[in-house]
Amino acid sequence: MRVDIWSDIVCPWCYVGKRRFESALAAFEDGAGVEILHHSFQLNPSAPRDRTSSRREMLMKKYGLTPAQMEATDARMTQVAAEEGLDYHLEDTVTGNTRDAHQLVHLAREHGRQDEMIERLYRAYFTERRSVFEPDSLVELARDVGMDADLAGAALREGRYEPAVEEDIDIARRIGVTGVPFFVINGKYGISGAQPPAVFLEALSNSADKETSKG
């Protein structure tokens, strides 16, 4: 069985969704036989690649929120994350273009470290308030998961995985993905959002049952 997951590195619900899906996978009888592929998605593709800006100010402008409303939204998000064992620190975080971070995830896939790479990027951004935008910071994070720093740096400078990122985004567009996280099980069954583990588990079990009945 294969599960394709579209997400963005700066999406707080994507990290929560990853944890909830992992909880379901741990309870799934054939969890060890599930292949997971992470795909790129950009919530703000027009963000400049040469600078960052305040995440809160960007969201307040986008959704018409007051500072108090924004703080309350972050507080609720932090509580939701905590319920999944995640330690969010959203105050004073910045946002920017995530295309280079997604390139690293593609590089890591080729070396069997895709899940470790996306996990490291999430933790760096949401827990450690580290940059996932500047090349130097990204190279350090790649090194943290055992990737070669020179290889990672060269891949970013050359834009080696730009086509792969664009292909992921194009596929998402063609299948109608408008928000993330988005999960596709066996290329057939789509699940939108950070659903409770029970929803994922039911989808995995139903998909497995249908594959067994076909066999």
126 CB-near residues (< 8 Å, 6+ apart): 12, 15, 81, 86, 87, 88, 89, 90
For residue 54, what are its two tokens? 């305040």
Residue with tokens 């079990």, as numbered in its chain = 205
- Label residue 214 by pLDDT band (50, 70, 90): low
- pLDDT tens column, 40-83: 999 999 999 999 999 999 999 999 999 999 999 999 999 999 99
Average pLDDT, the chain: 95
Q: Tell me how long the chain is.
A: 215
Domain spans in the chain, listed from the N-terminal domain onward: 2-214
- Label residue 208 by pLDDT band (50, 70, 90): confident
Q: Which CATH number fits domain 2-214: 3.40.50.300, 3.90.1150.10, 3.40.30.10, 3.40.50.720?
A: 3.40.30.10
For residue 40, what are its two tokens? 């790129």
CA separation for the pair 108, 40 (Å, rounded): 13
Write the CA distances from 133 to 5, 26, 43, 101, 136, integer angstroms.
21, 32, 14, 7, 9
Cα first-last separation, the chain = 13
CA separation for the pair 81, 148 (Å, rounded): 31
Give the mean model confidence (pLDDT) for residues 190-202: 97
pLDDT > 70 in the chain, percent: 98
- pLDDT tens column, 87-146: 999 999 999 999 999 999 999 999 999 999 999 999 999 999 999 999 999 999 999 999
- Residue 187: which region, alpha, beta or left (left: phi > 0; alpha: psi -120 to 50)? left
Determine contact, residues 142/116, Cβ cutoff 8 Å. Answer: no
